[in-house]
Structure 1
Amino acid sequence: MVTSAAAPAPSSRPALSLPPSQFARLQPHAYLLAHLSPPSTNNQPSIRANGRAPTQFRVTSANAGSLTHTNGSAVVRIGDTAAVCGVRAELLHTEDIASWSVSQATSSNKSPRSVDQTEELGEQDDNETIERERAHIEDLNLLVPNLSLSTGCAPGFIPGSAPSSLAQSLSHQILSLLHSTRLVRADDLRIWYQPPSMGPEELERHNEEEQMDVDTAQNDPVEESPREIKAFWVLYIDIMIISLAGNAFDAAWAAVLAALRDTKLPKAWWDVDNETVVCSDSISDARKLSLRGLPVASSFAVFEADAAAGWRAVVIPEAAEMKAQRLARKGGVSERWLLADPDGYEEGLTQERACVVVDKDTDGKVIILEMEKNGGWTIDTEDLQQLVDLSSQRWEDMKRILDEC
């Protein structure tokens, strides 16, 4: 009897293993999902691929007065995203404004408010003052921001390329936020002239010189001549992103805030003899801008476990189904994550974005100045409350950083 030897067992194939860098490039969505939803047996919290918690912002630093040939400047770095901002002030004479009229140039006999008085009044400006400020700053374009992405700030920006749509969009966002928050006071940008008030004797002498036959009573009270606006300061706000690693808007706006807080305008007055504006070259005479509050912008992104689930849905789920989803998320089964301060890797994997701009009054009350959301419909009212709370904490951190720079 012939016995055959048993066939050798087939050798098991070696397991295919990839380094994390290759896995992140081949399957970026699965790579981030693996970090945010670890196995329940590991008892590990959700953590992003960059090592941050979902609600954690990147390390931020700021340095003011970095540029010497500007009225104000700052460098802000948020993670690996860095922005440089310089503010340059130039004069705009009212005689060079085609739409300027005498009614706009004159004001009431009220004396101009000092910086302390303006800060005490705060938001108590009447509607007439608000409309006048809007007309001067917006219609006369007294704030001119311009953002550019420097060559080499990211792999996609090569030498000789035309200005990108991202740079134009960010410039428009910054301009819109400057107008909506009313951060810069129009009175800081006005250059006034107070004509001398002539008493009865001066007025009679003036009439004689002008050969005018006008009777002047000696007891007539001296009326103060109305003030006139002779020129404006125009602030050219140039922002350059020298390193782009996601969330360029927060870095650019923080750089604008720090630069405006550092801006000093020279003392200027109207020279009647030469009919021009004269500026003092003494640094001690320069004055800082009296900004309205400290509006801080915080950006967020929504990462979904199944990025195409929402777009495949024909109709919005009913209220009962949405409630069941929220209960499931509270039980630890999360299908989406709110990511604070997304970096460049996360921005490519998310479609829904949100930006919250908040400020705080003297009593510590949070004031929501602006809230934007685009790209999806998964953020609900509970999430908005969480975003406001995170933005409030971010405001405290940014205030401390800007006060120290």
Structure 2
Amino acid sequence: MATPTASAVPAAPPSLSLPPSQFARLQPHAYLLAHLSPPPASNQPSIRANGRAPAQFRVTSANSGSLTHTNGSAVVRVGDTTAVCGVRAEILHTDDIASWSVSQASSGNTHKRRRLGDLGGKPTEESDDTYADAQDDEDRAHIQDLNLLVPNLSLSTGCAPGFTPGAPPSSLAQSLSHQILSLLHTSRLVRADDLRIWYQPPNLGREDLERHNEDEAMDVDAGPGAAGLSKPREIKAFWVLYIDVMIISLAGNPFDAAWASVLAALRDTKLPKAWWDIDNETILCSDDVSQARKLSLRGFPIASSFCVFDADAAAAYRAVVIPKADEPKRRGFKQTWILADPDGYEEGLSQERACLVVDKESNGQGKTVIVKMEKHGGWIIDTEDLRQLVSMSAQRWDEMKQILEQC
């Protein structure tokens, strides 16, 4: 009886398993679901496809002063998402503002009403509060109405697939620019007084007729009604800050990286000493770098973004991938996870997103203040979840403050 040859032995059937990279492309929902909800017998923790825990943010680094031809700059990298921000300052003369005379007249009436109120016997605290409110309204009007902060975000060619050279600005870039502008106004990060260029008219007495030099004609630190000055100060010009942000690498969550770069660049911004030259009737700036002054920013707002992954979007694969998996969170029959700092892969699998901007008081108590909160795309996040997100954002604030202060 002849023995069978090696070629006659049937070969083993090919394996039907797929490599993880192909599984992630073919069935992205099922792939992420398998990581977030592993079988109980495996004793593996719930992790994301990128290896992070659901509440874990990506590694962040920052560097300031990277651009030489700007008043301030910074580079912030959050994971593989990198944003570069440069701040350029230009002078806006009040003579070029069409409504300046009208706004000055209304402002003068407000100060006049306050003085008349004090003379009429009204309580000092009430008049001070009224004056403070008027000052806040004036600061807000100068920043917003005069457009003293002009952010612009662009997505560089090749930062992600789909961004080709010569293409018009994408809707994502325009939306991020609007978000940055809205947050600058809401947080009131930049003080209007840092952007004002003052002029103090001299007392034209006998001995003061010829005193029109820069040191005596303009005093930045002196307040209205200073001793020995009978004429009030005048605002001759404003600094306009052009805040240009470029995303050179996009791997998800561009807003957090862009806003962190804006905050770091503004902290690095220095404005040269400027004064009004009465002889030439123009604004002059000093070339001495030591006389430049930094912006006195109001607060330290940090943005933290989150997304919601819903397992029901992969319901067709759930019975095959995790037939007996534990459900860490249930709302009726829904299984969901809230993911901090989502990357590009996770953003494509989520519909509901939330962004919290928080700050902490500097009075020693460390109380968390919610500067802005946005949520869109669904209704899964409830009140309990928002409390957890605020707590996570407060921890993120501590990390980012330490990173940006050291850059």
The TM-score, its normalising length taken from structure 1, stands at 0.81
Range 387-396 or range 300-309, more displaced:
300-309
Q: Secondary structure, in 3 states, of the residue corresponding to 1:195?
A: coil
CA distance in structure 1 between the aligned counterparts of 2:83 and 2:347, rounded to whole angstroms: 18
Asked whether 1:97 is paired with 2:103, we answer: no
Q: Does 1:254 align with 2:256?
A: no
**1:198–1:222 contact (8 Å) kept in structure 2:** no
Shift of 1:43: 1.5
Q: Which runs of 5+ in 2 are unaligned?
A: 1-9, 113-128, 210-226, 316-326
Match of 2:223 in 1: none
Q: Report the counterpart of residue 243 of structure 2 in structure 1.
A: 237
**CA 1:354–1:124: 2 relative to 1, 3 Å:** farther
Residue of structure 1 equivalent to 2:399: 397
1:75 is aligned to 75
Corresponding position of 2:370: 368
Shift of 1:11: 9.4
Residue of structure 2 aligned with 1:136, choices 120, 126, 142: 142
Distance in 2, Cα, partners of 1:227 & 1:90: 22
Shift of 1:147: 0.3
User: What's the offset of the Cα at 1:202?
Assistant: 6.9
- In 2, the alpha carbon distance for the partners of 1:305 and 1:34 equals 10
- Is the Cα contact below 8 Å between 2:29 and 2:314 reproduced in 1? no
Shift of 1:129: 1.2
1:169 corresponds to which residue? Answer: 175
CA contact (8 A) 1:199 1:222 kept: no
> What do residues 21-67 of structure 1 show as CA deviations (whole Å, max 9, x unaligned)?
00000000000000000001111110000000000000000000000
What is the alpha-carbon distance in structure 1 between the residues aligned to residue 174 and residue 131 of structure 2? 33
Which stretch of the first structure deviates more once superposed, 182-191 or 361-370?
Answer: 361-370
- Report the AA paired with residue 233 of structure 1: W
Q: Is the Cα contact below 8 Å between 1:200 and 1:222 reproduced in 2? A: no
Structure 1, unmatched stretches of 5+, are: 1-9, 110-122, 204-220, 310-326
Distance 1:58 1:373, change over 3 A: same
**Structure 2 vs 1, CA of residues 48 and 276 (structure 1 numbering), >3 Å: closer, same or farther?**
same
* Counterpart-to-counterpart distance in 1, 2:28 and 2:152: 33
CA distance in 1, matches of 2:99, 2:378: 43
Q: Distance in 2 between matches of 1:266 and 1:59?
A: 35
Deviations 1:89-145 (A, max 9, x none): 000000011111066288769xxxxxxxxxxxxx99821111101110100000000
2-structure distance, mates of 1:124, 1:183: 22
- Aligned partner of 1:33: which letter? L
TM-score by length of 2: 0.81
Q: Indicate if the aligned counterparts of 1:261 and 1:288 stay in contact, CA closer than 8 A.
A: yes
Asked if 1:159 is matched to 2:165, the reply is yes
| Amino acid aligned to 1:376 | G
Q: Which residue of 2 aligns with 1:24?
A: 24
Residue 43 (structure 2) pairs with residue 37 (structure 1): no
Distance of 2:400 and 2:25 partners within structure 1: 33
Alignment root-mean-square deviation, CA: 2.6
1:209 equivalent in structure 2: none
How far apart are residue 198 of structure 1 and its match? Answer: 3.8
When residues 50 and 288 of structure 1 are mapped into structure 2, their CA distance, relative to the original with a 3 A threshold, is same
Code of the residue aligned with 1:262 in structure 2: it is: D
Change (3 A) 1:124 1:303: farther
1:206 corresponding residue in structure 2: none
Give the structure 1 partner of residue 54 of structure 2. 54
Instruction: Give the C-alpha shift of residue 12 in structure 1.
Output: 8.2
Q: Deviations over 1:143-163 (max 9, x none)?
A: 000000000000110111111
* Equivalent residues of 1:189, 1:232 under 8 A apart: yes
SS of the counterpart of 1:101? Answer: helix
Contact 1:89 1:234 in 2 (8 A): yes
Aligned runs of 1:194-343 on 2, under 5 Å?
194-199=200-205, 224-307=230-313, 329=329, 335-343=335-343
Matched to 2:18, the amino acid is L
C-alpha distance 132-16 of structure 1, shift in aligned 2 (>3 A): same
Moved over 3 A (4+): 10-15, 105-109, 198-203
Alignment of 1:183-202 (within 5 A): 183-199=189-205
Task: Provide the rounded CA distance (Å) in 2 between the counterparts of 1:91 and 1:42.
Answer: 64
Q: How does 1:342-353 map to 2 (within 5 A)?
A: 342-353=342-353
Amino acid at match of 1:381: T
| Cα distance, 1:306–1:226 mapped onto 2, change above 3 Å | same
Give percent identity, aligned residues only.
Answer: 75
Please give the alpha-carbon distance, in whole angstroms, between the structure 2 residues aligned to 1:271 and 1:201: 20
Q: Deviations for 1:334-353, whole angstroms, at most 9, x for unmatched residues? A: 81000000000000000000
Contact 1:80 1:244 in 2 (8 A): yes
